[in-house]
A and B are shown apart, each in its own frame.
Chain A
Amino acid sequence: MTLLKMKFNQQRRVRLAQGLWLMSWLAVTGGAFIFCLGVYLKTELLRRDEVMENAEIHVVPNILMMVGLASMGTNWVASRVCQDSLDVSRFPRWKVPLLAWFAMAALLCCLLLTVVVLSYALQGSLEDSLKVGLRNGIRFYKDTDVPGRCFQKETIDRLQMEFRCCGNNNFKDWFEVQWVSSRYLDFTSQEVKDRIRSNVDGRYLLDGVPFSCCNPASPRPCLQNHLTDSRAHYNYEYQSEELNLYSRGCRQALTDYYMGLMNSTGPGVLSLFSCVQMSVLLSMRYLQTAVEAAIASENPEGESEGYLLDKGVKETYQDVRAKVLGLLKFGQVDPSEDASGAAEGAKTADTEKAATPTPAS
């Protein structure tokens, strides 16, 4: 019992081929768009490479780029098949490549779904990577004379200004590290000596933040130093001051930004594209079966039947399973049979396979 049988006359076949040709070119542009999306996401991730510790999140744009390129190629092949489908002499050469094509198209749909799932699932990994990267960035902020870390200061300053954030979780992260290099500290000053002695590691810690934490929207000029001391500044209340510095942490800001990028494009674009790809796949199946039936019958211009699956879903699945197992057993030597007998049996099985039209590919 065939699955979803439909009758096709010549005109309907022509219409189907034309419609499929248009849809496959639409899918090619969709694939190009997805590739560009992947490239954009990758460049955005690479720009902030310095504050990310690992590159696990890069798997999302990598898959997007691969899927984009693969779908461009696959759908271009589909358009070639459409052009050949109405020519009786040229269609049969597509018989075997179409099997590979169906497998590829199904794989693409699965990959797209995987990308959407991954973009949500990797959020935790992104946050962890940012946590470590930002912590190191803040720690090495002062090392502008150490090769390999010269530009940490500039990177962190620009990051904080662009994303309007301060520190890792919040601005207090700056109180725990020495962010002023010892080159610029006057060790003869009493104040400096006090601060250095005040902690075990001998670091110059202060309750101050760099200038890049300052919020331009504050009505008062930025207060950077002695932040926890309400008496150090006139008309300043440490607990209630909100606008002076950026209150958001950079990890939160960056995570929100990247999640926003991936989630705004992910579900919408990718589900639309996978719909287009699925419809291309189904239409191609109908076209293939209809045209093959028409060619096989005496009248190539007459009516033919197109279907999705030759037998029902269950029977097709059992068939495919048996075939795959047969393929796997082909390499094994069966101890009960002769070696030549096994080879002969394998050969006849092979020819049988080639003769019958493969129902589910």
Chain B
Amino acid sequence: MPFMSVKFNLQKRVKLAQGLWMFYWLSVIVGISIFSLGIFFKIELRKRSEVMDNSESHLVPNLLILVGMLACGLNAFGGKMCHDALDPIKFSKMKPMLKPFMLLSCGFSMLLLLVALLCFLMQFSIYLTLAEGLKNTIRFYKDTDTPGRCFMKRTLDITQIEFRCCGNNNFRDWFEVQWISNRYLDMSNDVVKDRVLSNVEGKYLMDSVPFSCCNPGSPRPCIQHHLTNNSAHYDYDHRTEELNIWTRGCREAVFSYYSSIMTSIGVLIIITIILESMDVAGLKYLSTSLETMTDPENPECESEGWLLEKGFKETFADVLTKLKTLGRANQVQEGGDAPEVSPP
């Protein structure tokens, strides 16, 4: 007994073909948007690759670009098939291509599922890469004269201004590194000598942050230096001061930005999976309804369309036996040869 069968007359078949054609072209548009989102994501990763140590994984955007192109191609072909299906000559020509095409669509949906899963899982990888990358960028902030690290200062400053954040976890990360290059330190000055001698590694550490940590929304001009010293500034209490510099860490800020991009791409891919399944189901209905026409010469005759020829359980059992015989194709059957071998 066919699974979910529906009766079709000519009008219903034509409506199904037209509706399916529109769905396929909608899927093409969705495929184009996946492709462009993949490119956008790749560009965004490239833009900030310096704060991620140039070690970020481009797997997800590359897969998105590939999947977008495949979706466009597959769905455009499907749309063409719908367009040709109502013409009996063209339909008979394309009948042998139907089954492989539907299998290919199912395989493509599996690939889409994998990509959606990756979109959600790779967020962890980005988080870890960001943590490591930001730590290094803050360490190399002062090395504007070292080849390969010249632009770390500018990149980190622009990132902190753009994402309204300061430091890795918070602004205190700046207290632990020397972010002023030795070129600009007067080593003969007593204050400088005291600070350099105050720690084991001889770094010039201060309780100050760069200007890019400043919050423009603060009512008072930005206090960058001597942040933990209340007496250094008039009417200042560092424990209650909130608006002076950004309190959020850049790892949180940049990660939430990328996470929102990846989550929305994941949602779009799930919508694409649903669309693709609907396309395959519609195509199956259309092809079965055209094949089961009781009178092929008369286009107005009735026909029946279904999703599966037998019931769900029987189809599943069929597939299992087919897989088993595939494996046993080369094995010699024990009982079968005996009657032939024994001489009469």
Is B219 a contact of A210 with CB atoms below 8 Å?
A: no
Is B221 a contact of A180 with CB atoms below 8 Å?
A: yes
Is A184 a contact of B235 with CB atoms below 8 Å?
A: yes
Is A234 a contact of B211 with CB atoms below 8 Å?
A: no
Interface residues of A in 213-262 (CB under 8 A from B): 214, 216-217, 219-222, 224, 233-235
B 7-35 to A, binary, CB cutoff 8 A, 1 in contact else 0: 00000000000000000000000000000
Is A181 a contact of B220 with CB atoms below 8 Å?
A: yes
Which of A181, A216, A217 has the most CB atoms of chain B within a 10 A radius of its CB? A216
Asked if B289 is at the interface (CB within 8 A of a chain A CB), the reply is: no
Contacts of B217 in A (CB 8 A): 154
Is A216 a contact of B184 with CB atoms below 8 Å?
A: no
Contacts of B180 in A (CB 8 A): 220-221
Q: State the CA gap A186–B183 with chains docked (Å).
A: 34
Please name the residue on chain A nearest to B150 by beta carbon: A219
Nearest CB on B from A204, distance (A): 11
Q: State the CA gap A183–B233 with chains docked (Å).
A: 12
Please name the residue on chain B nearest to A213 by beta carbon: B211
From B154, B157, B184, B210, contact of A234 by CB (8 A): B184
Nearest CB on A from B52, distance (A): 19
Q: State the CA gap A150–B219 with chains docked (Å).
A: 8
Asked if A179 is at the interface (CB within 8 A of a chain B CB), the reply is: yes
Is A184 a contact of B184 with CB atoms below 8 Å?
A: no
Nearest CB on B from A209, distance (A): 10
| Contacts A154-B216, A184-B235, A211-B224; A222 near B210 (Cβ below 8 A) | yes
B 219-251 to A, binary, CB cutoff 8 A, 1 in contact else 0: 111101000000001110000000000000000
Nearest CB on A from B322, distance (A): 56
Q: State the CA gap A183–B161 with chains docked (Å).
A: 27
Interface residues of A in 280-339 (CB under 8 A from B): none
Asked if B214 is at the interface (CB within 8 A of a chain A CB), the reply is: yes
Asked if B4 is at the interface (CB within 8 A of a chain A CB), the reply is: no
Contacts of A201 in B (CB 8 A): none
Asked if B75 is at the interface (CB within 8 A of a chain A CB), the reply is: no
From A150, A185, A210, A217, contact of B154 by CB (8 A): A217
Interface residues of B in 113-169 (CB under 8 A from A): 144-145, 150, 153-154, 157-158, 161
Asked if A43 is at the interface (CB within 8 A of a chain B CB), the reply is: no
Please name the residue on chain A nearest to B235 by beta carbon: A184
Interface class of chain B by DSSP: loop
Asked if B171 is at the interface (CB within 8 A of a chain A CB), the reply is: no
Q: State the CA gap A23–B235 with chains docked (Å).
A: 70
Number of A interface residues, CB 8 Å? 30
Is A153 a contact of B219 with CB atoms below 8 Å?
A: yes
From B184, B219, B222, B233, contact of A221 by CB (8 A): B184
Contacts of B234 in A (CB 8 A): 184-186, 189
Contacts of A216 in B (CB 8 A): 153-154, 157-158, 161, 212
| Contacts A153-B216, A158-B216, A161-B161; A219 near B221 (Cβ below 8 A) | no
Is B221 a contact of A221 with CB atoms below 8 Å?
A: no
Q: State the CA gap A86–B221 with chains docked (Å).
A: 73
Asked if A53 is at the interface (CB within 8 A of a chain B CB), the reply is: no
Which of A210, A211, A235 has the most CB atoms of chain B within a 10 A radius of its CB? A211
B 189-228 to A, binary, CB cutoff 8 A, 1 in contact else 0: 1000000000000000000001110101111111010000
Which of A157, A185, A186 has the most CB atoms of chain B within a 10 A radius of its CB? A157
Is B214 a contact of A219 with CB atoms below 8 Å?
A: no
Please name the residue on chain A nearest to B157 by beta carbon: A216
Nearest CB on B from A214, distance (A): 4
Q: State the CA gap A144–B220 with chains docked (Å).
A: 8
Contacts of A75 in B (CB 8 A): none
Is B211 a contact of A219 with CB atoms below 8 Å?
A: no
Nearest CB on A from B51, distance (A): 13
Q: State the CA gap A221–B221 with chains docked (Å).
A: 18
Asked if B181 is at the interface (CB within 8 A of a chain A CB), the reply is: yes
Asked if B179 is at the interface (CB within 8 A of a chain A CB), the reply is: yes
Which of B179, B181, B220 has the most CB atoms of chain A within a 10 A radius of its CB? B220
Q: State the CA gap A180–B221 with chains docked (Å).
A: 6
From B153, B158, B210, contact of A219 by CB (8 A): B153
Is B210 a contact of A212 with CB atoms below 8 Å?
A: no
Nearest CB on B from A208, distance (A): 9
Residues of B within 8 A of A (CB): 144-145, 150, 153-154, 157-158, 161, 179-181, 183-186, 189, 210-212, 214, 216-222, 224, 233-235
The 5 closest A-B pairs by CB, nearest first: A157-B216, A216-B157, A144-B219, A219-B144, A186-B234
Residues of A within 8 A of B (CB): 144-145, 150, 153-154, 157-158, 161, 179-181, 183-186, 189, 210-212, 214, 216-217, 219-222, 224, 233-235
Q: What are 22 contact pairs spanning A and B, CB under 8 A?
A: A145-B219, A154-B216, A161-B216, A179-B221, A181-B221, A184-B220, A184-B234, A185-B234, A186-B234, A189-B234, A210-B221, A212-B214, A216-B158, A216-B161, A216-B212, A219-B145, A219-B150, A220-B180, A224-B211, A234-B186, A235-B183, A235-B184
